[in-house]
Amino acid sequence: MTLSSALLDHAVDQLATLPGIGRRTAMRLALELLRREPQEVARFTEAIRRMRDELRRCSRCCNISDEEQCAICRDPRRDAGLICVVEDIRDVIAIEATRQFNGLYHVLGGVISPMEGIGPDELNAAELFDRVRQESIAPNEARVKEVVLALGGTLEGDTTAFYLNRRLNEMGVLVTTIARGISVGSNLDQADEATLGRSIVDRKPYEQLMKR
């Protein structure tokens, strides 16, 4: 599809580099942007450019951040003794949306995947170990007491959890993982065998459920 305009052509090409955006959708987006006021489009492109140029990595948890440390790490109301390890920032957003976690995070930036050549060195794992080691000599309230592994239930997630657990155990910190089980609101016959099996093995006293 070649257009009569190199400018439009080029913008469509660029929009079509985004994941899940084909050339037809890219064209629709370009025409929509063309209909807008120039200042409006300038706001759009500026927001993207500034995000890329000015966003940093939080020096503590490797999450993206506008400043030296991210807003979560800077928040004094959060429990610095509890670290939740996640794959990427989307997981942080998902967990924050539950309002059930009041600790800090550590963003790995991926999971161990020998197939894709991703080992611990390609992830922010060393940063996690340094952090646990340094903060274990910190004053009591800042000391890391527990690391929650909140990784996906895939082979890569399990491999990563296995590796992190072994290393963190050596440092004498409590390592936990998020519960796997039947989704809230779903029937047993919709669950896969592995999940259902896990939910039976990991059963817990009914009273404990009620106390929450």
**Does the protein bind a copy of itself through residue 161 (CB under 8 A)?**
no
Residue 208 Cβ vs a copy of itself, minimum distance, rounded to whole Å: 31
Find the part of the chain contacting a copy of itself (CB under 8 A) among 63-71, 141-149, 177-185, 195-203: 63-71
112 burial (CB, 10 Å; 0-12 / 13-18 / 19+) is buried
Nearer to a copy of itself, 3 or 174 (CB): 3
C-alpha closest to that of 175 among 94, 87, 115, 85: 85
**Contact region for a copy of itself (CB under 8 A) — 68-76, 77-85, 149-157, 164-172?**
68-76
Residue 130 touching a copy of itself (CB under 8 A): no
Residues touching a copy of itself, count (CB under 8 A): 57
Among 22, 49, 114, 197, which residue interacts with a copy of itself (rule: CB under 8 A)? 49
Candidate segments 12-20, 150-158, 160-168, 174-182, binder of a copy of itself by CB under 8 A:
12-20
| Contact partners, residue 91, CB within 8 Å, separation at least 6 | 107, 150
Q: Does 117 bind a copy of itself (CB under 8 A)?
A: no
Q: Which of 85, 127, 126 is nearest to 104 (CA)?
A: 85
* Interaction residues for a copy of itself, span 14-43 (CB under 8 A): 14-15, 17-21, 25, 27-34, 36, 38, 41-43
Residue 16 φ then ψ, to 5°:
-75, -5
11 touching a copy of itself, by CB under 8 A: yes
Residue 59 interacts with a copy of itself (CB under 8 A)? Answer: no
How far is the C-alpha of 96 from the C-alpha of 100, rounded, in Å?
A: 7
Q: Tell the residue number behind the tokens 């070649």, with chain if given.
A: 2
Q: Which residue type occupies 82?
A: L
Q: How far apart are CA 199 and CA 183, in angstroms?
A: 10
Q: What string of DSSP letters covers 51-76?
A: HHHH-EE-TTT--EESSSS-HHHH-T
Residues that bind a copy of itself (CB under 8 A): 1, 3-8, 10-11, 13-15, 17-21, 25, 27-34, 36, 38, 41-55, 63-66, 70-72, 88-90, 92-93, 96-97
